[in-house]
């Protein structure tokens, strides 16, 4: 070991130290280089195949399962990030890994040899569960996933001992994912369910429409609203007629009352039926007599026999006309009362018709609402059945919103560092390890190798140096 007061190390000292530990450094150098060569030639190569899946906004993301739309409101605010995370979880499911194992066989995965590929039969019971689980774990470890950021693309990589096997595993894996993804977005038996319900509702709708038709025929009207409008107009007209007739009856009664006061006992006189022409003639005669009476009164005294005679004639004519007018007015009053009774009867009949029509309208509206409700449900089930049929057709045609944006690649070059780079790094590591071993060995060596080390340590001159002999150990120098 060197002391603190030794002289600076020269190139000669470095060379001497290197030659003194030549065997150690050479051994370490050779060992590290051999390890690098072993890593290049003995360690198995790993090949990587990479593929990309694009999840576009399509049937699986914007359409709804028909069973989710029956009588409820659903939200379509699912984020794209959540959809990608769901797709990533589906990618990591055991169903997809088992689909790959069933097509390639667990032995081919464990041994990483394409020549050992043997598809597994559906009823195979000869495969050991332990081998199957080991193959499943190894296959799962060989797959890596990268969902990316702010992207609809999922990147999947597969590592295997051959580029062909890595590519084949990823191709089978992608095909299984598309199939499984479509199955998850479809409800089994939905088409059959909606078809059965739509058929039942169709029969129910036809029955309700038939009952509505019979009810309309029984009522005998094409439109209840129009019929009600006509009846209401008729009632209004009857009310007006009844009011007018009652006013005419009141006027007739008033005239009869006036005549009774003017001619007491007038109702006891029987008057034959006289035509209107005769009445008009009698009025004309009365008018002439009244004129004559006026002339006579103007020329003669009131007690003059001729004046008295004309007055008697005028009074008799008035009484006769009053009797005739009373009889006519009494007959008119009876006719008006009969007309009023008929109008009231018609009014009551129309009112009853309106009330019955109201009852029929309630029954009709109930039937129409029943038909509308059944028809609405029938249309819903028809739409859902069609949606289920479309979903089934899309699945049968393997149409999905998952597209392969990059098919699994074939890379003949192994993954990781190339052989040349590994060898260069191995040589550099060997040189570094040999240098470190030499320096460490020299640092822990406490022997004096040259006279200068002894003089520097003891501060005394060296008189004699005896070098090491190859055959006897020491010789005099």
Share of the chain above pLDDT 90, in %: 6
Give the model confidence (pLDDT) of 289-311 as tens digits.
Answer: 677 667 777 777 777 777 677 67
pLDDT at residue 117, as a whole number: 77
Average pLDDT over residues 414-432: 74
What's the 3-state SS for 90-114?
HHCCHHHHHHHHHHHCHHHHHHCCH
pTM of structure? 0.47
pLDDT at residue 13, as a whole number: 61
Give the model confidence (pLDDT) of 392-405 as tens digits.
Answer: 676 665 556 778 88
User: Residue 434 and residue 430: Cα distance in Å, rounded?
Assistant: 6
pLDDT at residue 372, as a whole number: 93
Give the model confidence (pLDDT) of 109-152 as tens digits.
Answer: 887 777 777 777 665 555 678 888 888 999 899 899 888 777 78
User: Residue 451 and residue 465: Cα distance in Å, rounded?
Assistant: 7
Of the listed ranges 86-90, 257-261, 262-266, 352-356, the one predicted with least confidence: 262-266
Residue 58 scores a pLDDT above 60? no
Average pLDDT over residues 216-223: 77
pLDDT at residue 41, as a whole number: 66
pLDDT-based confidence at 61, cuts 50/70/90?
Answer: very low
Residue 381 scores a pLDDT above 60? yes
Residue 152 near residue 54 (C-beta atoms within 8 A): yes
Superfamily of domain 11-190+398-453: FepE-like (3.30.1890.10)
DSSP letter (8 states) at residue 116: G
Of 63-67, 235-239, 299-303, 429-433, highest mean pLDDT: 235-239
pLDDT at residue 35, as a whole number: 81
pLDDT at residue 376, as a whole number: 92
First-residue to last-residue Cα distance in the chain: 24
H/E element, 436: helix 419-443
pLDDT-based confidence at 373, cuts 50/70/90?
Answer: very high
pLDDT-based confidence at 473, cuts 50/70/90?
Answer: very low
pLDDT at residue 371, as a whole number: 92
Average pLDDT over residues 232-261: 85
Average pLDDT over residues 174-184: 82
Give the model confidence (pLDDT) of 267-293 as tens digits.
Answer: 655 555 555 665 566 666 666 767 766
Give the model confidence (pLDDT) of 161-173 as tens digits.
Answer: 888 988 999 999 9
Taking CB atoms within 8 Å and a gap of at least 24, the contacts of 436-445 are: 437/21, 437/24, 437/25, 437/28, 438/17, 438/18, 438/21, 438/24, 438/25, 441/21, 441/24, 442/17, 442/20, 442/21, 443/1, 444/1, 445/1
Domain ranges in the chain are 11-190+398-453, 215-396
pLDDT at residue 475, as a whole number: 42
pLDDT-based confidence at 16, cuts 50/70/90?
Answer: low
DSSP letter (8 states) at residue 368: H
Question: Could you tell me which residue, 278 or 346, shows the higher pLDDT?
Answer: 346
For residue 446, count other CB atoms closer than 10 A to its CB.
6
Average pLDDT over residues 353-369: 87
Of the listed ranges 7-16, 176-185, 246-255, 360-369, the one predicted with least confidence: 7-16
Share of the chain above pLDDT 70, in %: 66
pLDDT-based confidence at 63, cuts 50/70/90?
Answer: very low
pLDDT at residue 10, as a whole number: 59
Of 108-112, 145-149, 378-382, 471-475, highest mean pLDDT: 378-382
pLDDT at residue 269, as a whole number: 56
H/E element, 89: helix 80-91
Three-state DSSP class for residue 467: coil
């Amino acid at each position: 070991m060197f002391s603190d007061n030794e002289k600076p190390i020269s190139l000669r000292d470095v060379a001497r130290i290197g030659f003194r530990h030549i065997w150690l450094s050479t051994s370490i150098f050779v060992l590290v280089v051999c390890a690098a060569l072993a890593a290049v030639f003995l360690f198995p190569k790993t090949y990587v195949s990479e593929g990309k899946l694009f999840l576009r906004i399509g049937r699986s993301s914007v359409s709804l399962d028909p069973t989710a739309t029956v009588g409820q409101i659903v939200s379509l605010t699912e984020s794209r990030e959540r959809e990608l995370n769901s797709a990533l979880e589906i990618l990591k499911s055991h169903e997809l890994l088992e689909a790959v194992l069933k097509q390639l066989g667990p032995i081919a995965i464990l041994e990483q040899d394409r020549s050992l590929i043997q598809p597994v039969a559906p009823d195979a019971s000869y495969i050991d569960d332990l081998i199957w689980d080991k193959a499943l774990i190894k296959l799962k470890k060989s797959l890596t996933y990268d969902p990316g950021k702010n992207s609809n693309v999922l990147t999947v990589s597969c590592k295997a001992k051959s580029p062909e096997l890595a590519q084949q595993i990823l191709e089978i894996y992608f095909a299984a994912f598309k199939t499984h993804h479509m199955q998850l977005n479809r409800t089994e038996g939905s088409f059959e369910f909606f078809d059965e319900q739509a058929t039942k509702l169709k029969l129910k709708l036809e029955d309700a429409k038939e009952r509505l038709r019979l009810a309309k025929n029984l009522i005998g009207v094409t439109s209840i609203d129009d019929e009600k409008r006509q009846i209401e107009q008729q009632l209004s007209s009857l009310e007006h007629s009844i009011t007018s007739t009652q006013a005419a009856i009141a006027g007739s009664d008033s005239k009869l009352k006036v005549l009774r006061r003017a001619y007491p006992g007038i109702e006891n006189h029987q008057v034959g039926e006289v035509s209107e022409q005769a009445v008009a003639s009698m009025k004309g005669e009365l008018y002439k007599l009244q004129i004559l009476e006026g002339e006579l009164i103007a020329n003669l005294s009131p007690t003059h026999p001729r004046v008295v005679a004309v007055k008697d004639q005028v009074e008799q004519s008035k009484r006769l006309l009053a009797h005739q007018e009373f009889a006519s007015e009494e007959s008119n009053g009876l006719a008006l009362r009969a007309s009023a009774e008929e109008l009231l009867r018609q009014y009551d009949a129309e009112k009853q018709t309106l009330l019955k029509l109201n009852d029929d309208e309630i029954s009709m509206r109930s039937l129409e609402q029943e038909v509308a409700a059944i028809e609405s449900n029938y249309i819903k089930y028809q739409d859902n059945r069609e949606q289920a049929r479309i979903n089934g057709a899309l699945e049968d045609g393997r149409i999905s919103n998952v597209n392969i944006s990059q098919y699994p690649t074939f890379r003949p070059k192994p993954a990781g560092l190339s052989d040349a780079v590994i060898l260069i790094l191995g040589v550099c590591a060997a040189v570094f390890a040999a240098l470190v071993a030499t320096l460490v060995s020299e640092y822990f060596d406490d022997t004096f190798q040259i006279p200068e080390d002894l003089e520097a340590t003891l501060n005394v001159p060296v008189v004699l140096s005896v070098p090491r002999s190859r055959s006897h150990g020491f010789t005099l120098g």
